[in-house]
Every structure is written in C-alpha cells, then in structure tokens.
Amino acid sequence: MSSYYLCSIGSNIDPELHVEQVITELVTRFGRVTLSPFIYTDPVGIASQSRFLNALFWFNTAQPEGQVKAQFNALEKSHGRDRSDSERSVKDRTLDLDIIAVSATPQFEAPSESYLQPIVQSLFADQALPAGVEFAELNVAGLKLGNRATAVDLDPTTRHISISD
C-alpha cells in the first residue's frame, strides 16, 4: 500500500546549489515530486543572519515512513549536514528535509509553520504567491522552476527529468 508524504525543504548555506541538487535526487528516489514555489524566509528558532530557501513538496510511495526518513537523513548528510551534532537543529544548514504529514490520499492539513504559509495555497490551491513574497527561480536539470507549483518527473527509460505545471 502506498502513502502520500507532505514534506519540506530548507537550506541557508548555499541554498540554491543544495536545493537544485536535492530535487533531482528526490525525483530519482521517489518518482514524481510536486513542489511549491521556493521562497526566501528569515530564520526561525536559530541565531543566524542567513536567510533560508524553503519549499513544500509531496509525493507518493510504497516505502514506509521510517525508510523515507532514513533516505532524507542520508541526503542531508551527503550535502554536508552533521546529523551527529546535538545542536544541528539550531544551526545553519546545507539541507533540511522534514516529513510534515503522511496520508492515504493527497489531501493534507496545511502545515502550521508561519514561514511556510505563503506557499501553502500555491501548492494546494494553485494560487499565486502573495504580494511581497520573494521567490527563487531554480534550475533543475536545465529546466526552470519559478513562482508556481510544479510537478517534476523522471522518465525511467531515458533518465531525463521533465517539469509540468
């Protein structure tokens, strides 16, 4: 039986580099990934001057939650995050991948984190970002992601990534 996962991506150390790379890695591991726009946010809960690049995403997989989380941890580590550091949750980070919700359907309650609110409606209701929100245009496998929710796929035959709105 498969489940739908609602997750978040965050980075405030070379964020464009790490986020662009991890999107390809996520699609390779989980298949189609539907992404919100990527926005810049101020740090919450850590003492840092470096802004974060954040997004929400969801995907469907038969992998159990523990296995998905283990893969997220491995991806964070491969991008330079020290998972053994007891202070890791209050430090700058190259990559932060979190599971927000798991569901039998692609229907989720909106996450409560205030810094994610500008992208919630964009992901779930295909609405434009609110005025004043700074979004990032990213380049994934030579394709541009912008200020709209986007599905990213990997063709299993050619191993090419494709993007659709």
**Single-letter code of the amino acid located at 126:** D
How confident is the model over 48-96, as pLDDT tens digits? 889 999 999 999 999 999 999 999 999 999 999 887 777 777 778 999 9
Contact 57, 29 (CB under 8 A): no
Three-state SS at 2: coil
Joined tokens for residue 129: 């970002």
Q: What is the Cα–Cα distance from 84 to 121, expressed in whole angstroms?
A: 35
Does the predicted TM-score (pTM) go above 0.95?
no
**Single-letter code of the amino acid located at 11:** S
**Single-letter code of the amino acid located at 107:** Q
The dihedrals phi and psi of 151, each to the nearest 5 degrees, come to: -95, 135
How confident is the model over 108-158, as pLDDT tens digits? 888 888 778 888 888 877 777 778 788 888 888 787 887 788 888 877 777
